[in-house]
Amino acid sequence: MKDCSHSRAIYISEVKFPRSTVIVIVFDFQLAYNGDPKNSKMQDNTVPTKPSGKRILFTGGSGKAGRHVIPYLLAQGHKVLNVDLVPFPDPAADIYTLKADLTESGQSFNVLTSHFNMSGYEAKTLPQPPDVVIHFAAYPRNMIVPDNETFQANVTSTYNVIEAGK
């Protein structure tokens, strides 16, 4: 087994809109391998399409904001795994959606160690952690579900994603 050293940075950004504020949390995992990094890559369709590309786990990618951000990330050469309760709305896009409830801590931890698509199971190596986690999964406003459920789900899922990324 290769030795890995993980250094993690958490970037938190607040974006204000006229009627709401969006908080974006991005984890950046830098992996330094003591050995040949080619041995740790999964098959070609699970690695970025450009040398500078990252493997990105994106929560809430099927929502209003995510459905615009994910195609941009793909165009930049990144490989994206969408984690959401519903599939990505564009079936023609090269995006695998892993259905998970991030309010459940076990599922949150599991998605960070998951394959990026079904071809990952054919690889001879175990999946590596994603390079970056972008967390958009949330109820975007009140009146979708009762207020207490909005608060509970948004806080719990964000907490679980941060804990799983540690």
Q: What is the pLDDT of residues 127-163, one digit of tens each?
A: 788 889 999 999 988 889 999 999 999 999 999 999 9
Q: What is the pLDDT of residues 49-87, one digit of tens each?
A: 777 788 899 999 999 999 999 999 999 999 999 999 999
CA distances from 151 to 49, 69, 147, 158 (A): 38, 24, 6, 11
Q: What is the CATH number of domain 3-165?
A: 3.40.50
Strand order in the sheet with 132-135: 3-16, 21-34, 132-135, 55-59, 79-84, 96-99
> How is the chain split into domains, by residue range?
3-165
- The secondary structure of residue 145, as a DSSP letter, is S
Q: Tokens for 105?
A: 């801590």
